[in-house]
């Protein structure tokens, strides 16, 4: 864990599979009693393209920390991913196949703190036909650590319940 990072209170457990150069993973996120964010327990994205399926049922039900600024409603059940490219690239990420209303935020690790560089809530049509998927694209510098935070949108009718997260990350 890097200094300055607090414990988040969840961990990921599961299996990964590589098919045709695409990294696929299925895992369950389990909650622990800690309430302070811990990006140190994020899933490491080692190669692009990357896809992951995860149940967020066990992710902390409290407000996402830090709270993504692109949603007026708030966010809950945050799941974290970590990426550090070897070369300067543009990264595209989406949650188009997720079963719930997602909020996708990207943070750069800069000067011992997280700095939000991209955020999206409702980028396209999700599986239920409503605007619930999220997508971002951002320029990533070589050897800089980026954290992707996927949260459940917390609004009337869908109070941050979460569900099955489907994250796709690629070089754009």
Q: How far is CA 151 from CA 62, 88, 106, in A?
A: 11, 27, 11
Contacts of residue 111, defined as CB under 8 A and 6 or more positions apart, other chains included, come to: none
36-87 residue pLDDT tens: 356 667 899 999 999 999 988 778 777 778 888 898 777 888 899 999 999 9
pLDDT for res 34 = 26
pLDDT at 9 over 50: no
* Domain 10-171 in this protein, CATH class: mainly beta
Predicted local distance difference test score (pLDDT) of residue 160: 63
What pLDDT was estimated at residue 156?
57
How do residues 95-119 score in pLDDT, each as one tens digit? Answer: 988 888 889 999 998 888 889 999 9
Q: Which residue has the tokens 């902390």?
A: 60
Taking the C-alpha atoms of residue 105 and residue 149, their distance in angstroms, rounded to an integer, is 5
Written as six digits, the tokens of 39 are: 């990006």
Return the biggest CA–CA distance within the chain. 43
């Amino acid at each position: 864990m890097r200094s300055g990072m607090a414990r988040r209170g969840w961990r990921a457990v599961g299996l990964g599979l590589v098919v045709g150069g695409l990294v696929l993973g299925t895992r369950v996120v389990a909650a622990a009693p800690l309430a302070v964010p811990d990006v140190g327990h994020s899933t490491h994205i080692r190669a692009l393209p990357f896809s992951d399926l995860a149940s967020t049922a066990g992710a902390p039900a409290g407000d996402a920390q830090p709270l993504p600024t692109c949603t007026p409603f708030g966010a809950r059940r945050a799941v974290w991913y970590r990426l550090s490219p070897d070369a300067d690239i543009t990264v595209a990420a989406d949650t188009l196949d997720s079963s719930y209303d997602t909020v996708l935020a990207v943070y750069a690790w800069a000067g011992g703190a997280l700095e939000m560089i991209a955020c999206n809530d409702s980028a396209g049509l999700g599986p239920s036909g409503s605007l619930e998927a999220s997508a971002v694209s951002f320029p990533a510098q070589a050897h800089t650590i980026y954290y992707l935070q996927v949260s459940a949108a917390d609004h009337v009718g869908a109070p941050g319940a979460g569900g099955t997260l489907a994250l796709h990350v690629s070089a754009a």
